[in-house]
Amino acid sequence: MDMKSLIADFSKQMREAVNIGEKAVLTAWPHEIRNILVTGLGGSGIGGTIVSQLCEKELKIPFLVNKDYFIPAFVDKHSLVVVSSYSGNTEETLQAMDMALKQGAKVVCVSSGGKTSSLASEHKLDCVTIPGGMPPRSCYGYSSTQLFYILHKLNLISDAFKAPLQKAIALLDAEEENIKRDARSLAEKLIGKIPVIYSATNYEGVVVRFRQQIQENGKMLCWHHVFPEMNHNELVGWTTKHDEVAVVMFRNDDDYFRTAKRMDICKEIFARYTPHIFEVHSKGQSQIEKSLYLIHFGDWVSWYLSEIRNIDCTEVKVIDYLKGELAKL
């Protein structure tokens, strides 16, 4: 299935992901869980970042995301480590998984197969299997949804996420054509530009996802930052004309009022140095709905960038080259 079809089927993927989550069975753990670590990279890891922000108002224990070969020393029998590797063969994640096992953590895997699933079977670990054969970045719905269910089934969060997920699916179906129209319009304006993406801090995972999609699907460099942190460093970098830069601001009606005011003021500052400033306003009532709306919108923007630029959005030859060179070690 091509990337366009995969993006178009996002709400269908979410429905399938909910069914997988509902049916997942996790074994009991004899120790109190005092912290959570999701380890995964790229399209497999971004779900951890986003879900950690979506659960931060309910979770009573720390939730961290690891994107490296190594895991923190605090991980022990009181830790839940979710190993998220879509392919099941991500070398950094496999090494982190080995460390988590040695440090005695409760390890739960989310994967479509590969070595991760094999190791899960070997060590008798809980493993939630999701459909395989697709680019990891196109399977955000499958992997991220399982994180909610894993947390819920281990009694770390309530089932309050379920209704917003269903409402988000309905919202995406209702808004699909509008999202595609607005996404194409923005993509056309980003051609030949370097996108700089901003949001409030609690939506940082969403803008990281957007940045990743522009980079992988659109084959374009870009960067992101968040408010209010960027007001204490990056803002000072806005001192000269940058006609090649296009600012994209993700806005939400639940942004903290002082943060929203900062964004309004900074729009005026940015306008002194670039004429290309665009705002994307989320839709939905809950943070889950708003986040999924913006994620889907960003995915469509990234695909339209590849279409307009007439490039293959699915190829990742430079990553394949990197892996080939690493295999020589």
CB 101, CB 107: distance < 8 Å = yes
Tokens of 277: 């400033």
Helix pair 140-153, 42-54: axis angle to 10 deg: 50
Tokens of 226: 């968040």
Which of 57, 124, 232, 317 is an active site residue? 232
Q: How far, in Å, CA of 322 to CA of 326, rounded? A: 6
Tokens of 268: 């005026």
Tokens of 197: 């993406």
CB 323, CB 34: distance < 8 Å = no
Active site residue 232: yes
Active site residue 216: yes
Q: How far, in Å, CA of 117 to CA of 85, rounded? A: 9
Q: How far, in Å, CA of 244 to CA of 275, rounded? A: 10
Dihedral sign (CA 303, 309, 196, 281): negative
Q: Phi and psi for 183 in degrees, rounded to 5?
A: -65, -40
CB 61, CB 35: distance < 8 Å = yes
Q: How far, in Å, CA of 248 to CA of 280, rounded? A: 7
Closest CA to 86 of 44, 131, 134, 145: 44
Which of 92, 204, 216, 289 is an active site residue? 216
CB 225, CB 234: distance < 8 Å = yes
Active site residue 307: no
What residues are annotated to the active site? 216, 232, 323
